[in-house]
Amino acid sequence: MIAEIDVAGANLTALNRMLASEPKVTSVSRAGDCIPGFTPNTILTSGAPMAWPQYHGGQRAALIGGALYEGLATSEEEAAEKFASRDIVIGACHDYGCVGSVAGIYTASMPVFVVSNTTYGNVGYCNLYEGKTSRRLNYGLYDEGVKERLDRLRDSVAPVLKRAIENAGGIALKPIVRRALNMGDELHSRNTAASYIFTDQLMPHFLDLPDVPTAQLKQVLALLTEDNYFFLRLSMAAAKVTADAARNIPGSTIVTAMAMNCRHFAIRVSGLGDTWFVGPEPTVEAKFFEGYSKEDIAWMGGESVITETIGLGGFAQAASFPLQDYQGGSPERMIEINLDMYKITQGENSDYRIPYFSFRGTPTGIDFRKVLSTGITPVVDAGIGGKSGGQIGAGLIRVPIECFQQAQFAFEAKYG
């Protein structure tokens, strides 16, 4: 059998489909209205899906917070009962074309960016950044302040963004990502430039909304650039539709998704459909906010690692030396780590390039066989959540080798 499978050809196809993808944000819409299969009692969360009792800590708290926010339950106890009885359905973000930041909670009434891959027609979604606070639903916290900020996103921010984006005829995201890589972003843990460029492209369209109160426009503007994290959700959605274009290519050993829940890291592989290959929690080298240490880490999910899946984030660290300030490390180490990623990828990105490497394309298309043959696992730039909820730091995490070993077993079983 093995001789009949053209792995090299399949992988080239997978890479080329990633490279030819053209992500474009076309609208902002209500999750329940635009995401196929999203029922009023659905809540999406990050990582390979698990049964309700498996969720613990911040991810469990975030799911309960989502149920309360959506009005599907009026107490934590009731929410837990309804999850257990499946009156509230837990879905995996990736199965709905979504990607979750940290715990990644999507409820039906939440606004989402709608991002199309204009080359292949596939569509992805990402919900909106909650703003400059360590108290966020996606970090497992829910209280009146969190609710207020979510309400503001839905009622004030989303309608303005929707109109501006639609009036602009959509905004192509690849050119923004490409430019941001020249401006210190790696589009996972640093999205400063991309947030400014995106805002700048929307500005003329904000001016075309004279019926929107100035105070509301200012609120939207503030969210877009106050701490320059806003664009991450668009970077994630762009990466999702890019990676999805490389799914389901028979014989391909290219990784098409990586994701965490509160217990496991997991990956998907193009030639192996939508099966998740699961490993333990990742290892971590982090810089902690004042007062926190490694002992305080709590995993609560995370799918922003979709950016690494298509050659951004940790795979573009050498484009983002200022990131050392946020997540530790040194320029030398960032360069070394970035160069290592070329050893486990299928090729170099034709659009996303690193100025320090004389505009060499970023390493793109993780080949699980190369991970196994080199022992080098993908590096991920990531925010770190704490046991008491909220963000406590940022740093590098490594995808566990076990995910790739599991994929290898399955690949052999399927293809011989």
CA distances from 12 to 4, 158, 246, 376 (A): 16, 39, 10, 21
E strand or H helix at 415:
helix 401-415
Give 203 or 372: the residue with its C-beta nearer to its own copies: 203
Relative orientation angle of helices 57-70 and 144-152, to the nearest 10 degrees = 60
User: Distance from CA of residue 51 to its chain's centroid?
Assistant: 22
Among 42, 199, 307, 406, binds its own copies (CB under 8 A): 199
Among 38, 206, 368, 404, binds its own copies (CB under 8 A): 206
Q: Per rule CB under 8 A, is residue 33 in the interface with its own copies?
A: no
User: Distance from CA of residue 387 to its chain's centroid?
Assistant: 21
353, β-bridge pairs:
361
CB 93 within 8 A of CB 66: no
Q: Per rule CB under 8 A, is residue 20 in the interface with its own copies?
A: no
Among 155, 208, 274, 412, binds its own copies (CB under 8 A): 208
Of 43-51, 197-205, 272-280, 336-344, which part binds its own copies (CB under 8 A)? 197-205
Q: Per rule CB under 8 A, is residue 157 in the interface with its own copies?
A: no
Of 28-36, 164-172, 205-213, 238-246, which part binds its own copies (CB under 8 A)? 205-213
Q: Per rule CB under 8 A, is residue 214 in the interface with its own copies?
A: yes
Q: What are the residues whose beta carbons fall under 8 Å from the beta carbon of 4, sequence distance 6 or more?
A: none
Give the helix, strand, coil percentages of the chain, each rounded to 5. 45, 20, 30
Of 38-46, 213-221, 257-265, 407-415, which part binds its own copies (CB under 8 A)? 213-221
User: Which residues in the 355-384 window bind its own copies by CB under 8 A?
Assistant: 355-359
Phi/psi of residue 74, each to 5°? -110, -5
**x/- track of binding to its own copies for residues 289-328 (CB under 8 A):** --------------------------------xx-xx---
By C-alpha distance, which of 302, 285, 180 is closest to 236?
302
Q: Per rule CB under 8 A, is residue 183 in the interface with its own copies?
A: yes
Phi/psi of residue 227, each to 5°? -135, 15
Q: Token match 């569509």: residue?
A: 123
278, β-bridge pairs:
266
Among 40, 53, 204, 416, binds its own copies (CB under 8 A): 204
Nearest distance in Å: CB 323, its own copies: 8
Q: Please give the residue ranges that form the binding site for its own copies (CB under 8 A).
A: 182-184, 192-193, 196-197, 199-200, 203-204, 206-208, 210, 214, 217-218, 221-222, 225, 321-322, 324-325, 330-331, 355-359
